[in-house]
Amino acid sequence: MKANYYMTDFAGLKLVQPLLRALSDEGYATPTPIQGKAIPVLIEGRDLIGIAQTGTGKTAAFALPMLQRLSASAYRPQPKSTRALILAPTRELAAQIAESFKVYGKHLNLRCEVVFGGVPIHRQIKALTPGVDILVATPGRLVDLWRQKCVRLDNVEIFVLDEADRMLDMGFIPDVKRIAAMLPKQRQTMLFSATMPQTIQQLSGFLLVNPASVEVTPAATTAEKVEQRVLFVQKANKRAALAGLLRDDAIDKVLVFTRTKHGANKVVKQLEDDGIRANAIHGNKSQSAREKALQEFRSGRTPVLVATDIASRGIDVDGVTHVINFELPNEPESYVHRIGRTARAGATGIAISLVDAEERSFLRDIEKTIRQPLVVQNHNYGSAPGAAVRQPANEDRPHRNGGGNHRGGNNGGRNGGQNGNRNGVQDYGQGKIRDAQPANQDRNQGGAQTDGEKLPARLMNGAARTDEAQRPRRRRRRNRSGGANHAAV
């Protein structure tokens, strides 16, 4: 059976209050298509095949009904056993799923543990000894634990196989079959996969009984969802370029990346001098200062957060509209990680990199890794030498999203084409959940360097607010020299 309709609000999904509260704490207003389709079927107790990728909200689609069912019975887990088992192909995914269970189940009294390879097994053995309600595991480590008689799987009531096609690619299917053979016949089973190769179809025939099937069209990958641009700019002009970029109204929350902790502090100081409220987050800050900076960023009180790569690993904030690389990282993977801080939760996002002459080789490595050239944006901040080697994109350049709205392109305006429709596009893999605001074609025509242009009020620091009357003149003076009178950053 295929579920063709879906609920469009959480209240209609018959979820219990503690779950609805957790969803509201997270700010989730609307179920994603896979959630709207899968949750009612799973609450009925049916087996399910979900054809969906990460990024569609599939974790909550299986976690919410599972938490509901487990919390409804007074049954406690037996020692060394688990009531629900989720198999995931990688430790990153396993950890992420366990984290989601903690978030969605925070008002319930259920125990969740995660086990994966590559770390000592002893702590995991200890955690499993009293028994758990939910166990998230990678197949290899789970088989190891079972061989050592540290876990029993004969009490599993609910079994989830996540990213089944990746399990196949990674050679885990024999382990999966071994594990499935240890499970009780009487159980609820769900299988999620982005694609359905024949082996997975056969596997689902063997694992599932009369399953419902839900499918969402594939969501774009991070690199596709993020509109990426580069400004070739002299090192000494990066400060003016950053302040100019931050004048874009479309910026709601922006993460600015530097390579060093010292660099992050310096950028914050300069932004504050320029009237822009910002915090820094890096390894030299105390835990409480980091938490405060994150909290202020999350709440929107300080919408500019300047971070180093290491500190950014802990930043999981929805609604980051922009990432600005004040300096490029020397490792391409860090670039991918940085831009992934935007375009979370199905949204799209913009990543802008300020690249000086010394960073050209970093840029080449990044473009090789992401297998696409970055769109060059025109600007008036003083180009880096050699920038002419790379032409800015023009209107005729085919856009990778196939759209005619030329999101990343350069429209010849001084702010270089930031007038695409960015606000609040939620793409969870099946059309737009929330429609974007109509693009304001004129919004950025004046661009970052318009003399005397006002900062968006939410970015202003206290000094800037009281001092606003004087600001236009100060900025006019600065802009006439193209920002060159700023100290080098």
Interface with ligand AMP by CB under 6 A: which residues?
Answer: 28, 30-32, 35, 54-60, 344-346
* Residue 227 or 427 with smaller CB distance to ligand AMP: 427
Length of the chain equals 489
* Residue 33 or 483 with smaller CB distance to ligand AMP: 33
Buried b (16+ CB within 10 A) or exposed e, 285-323: beeeebeebbeebbeeebbbbbbbbebbeebeeebbbbb
* Residue 23 or 128 with smaller CB distance to ligand AMP: 23
* Residue 55 or 131 with smaller CB distance to ligand AMP: 55
Can you tell me whether residue 83 is helix, strand or coil?
strand
Residues 6+ apart with CB under 8 A from 241: 231, 233, 354, 379, 381, 448, 483
| Minimum separation from the CB atom of position 211 to ligand AMP (A) | 20
* Residue 6 or 335 with smaller CB distance to ligand AMP: 6
| Minimum separation from the CB atom of position 426 to ligand AMP (A) | 7
The residue whose Cβ lies closest to ligand AMP is: 59
At 155, list the tokens. 């009490």
DSSP per-residue letters across 216-249: -PPPPPHHHHEEEEEEE--GGGHHHHHHHHTT-T
DSSP state of 273: H
Inter-helix orientation angle 332-339/360-370, to 10°: 70
* Residue 57 or 420 with smaller CB distance to ligand AMP: 57
| Minimum separation from the CB atom of position 344 to ligand AMP (A) | 5
| Minimum separation from the CB atom of position 349 to ligand AMP (A) | 13
- CA pair distance 256, 268, nearest whole angstrom: 10
| Minimum separation from the CB atom of position 449 to ligand AMP (A) | 35
| Minimum separation from the CB atom of position 296 to ligand AMP (A) | 21
Can you tell me whether residue 381 is helix, strand or coil?
coil
- CA pair distance 190, 193, nearest whole angstrom: 10
- CA pair distance 110, 451, nearest whole angstrom: 58
* Residue 182 or 345 with smaller CB distance to ligand AMP: 345
Q: How many CB atoms lie within 10 A of CB 269?
A: 13
| Minimum separation from the CB atom of position 116 to ligand AMP (A) | 17
* Residue 318 or 365 with smaller CB distance to ligand AMP: 318
* Residue 39 or 233 with smaller CB distance to ligand AMP: 39
Structure-token match 């429709």, residue found: 421
Structure-token match 């606000």, residue found: 423
- List helix spans (H) across 105-193: 122-128, 139-147, 164-169, 173-182
| Minimum separation from the CB atom of position 260 to ligand AMP (A) | 29
* Residue 316 or 467 with smaller CB distance to ligand AMP: 316
| Minimum separation from the CB atom of position 347 to ligand AMP (A) | 9
Structure-token match 């269970």, residue found: 101
Residues 6+ apart with CB under 8 A from 133: 70, 77, 82, 83, 84, 110, 111, 112
Q: Residue 168 in contact with residue 175, Cβ under 8 Å?
A: no
| Minimum separation from the CB atom of position 192 to ligand AMP (A) | 10
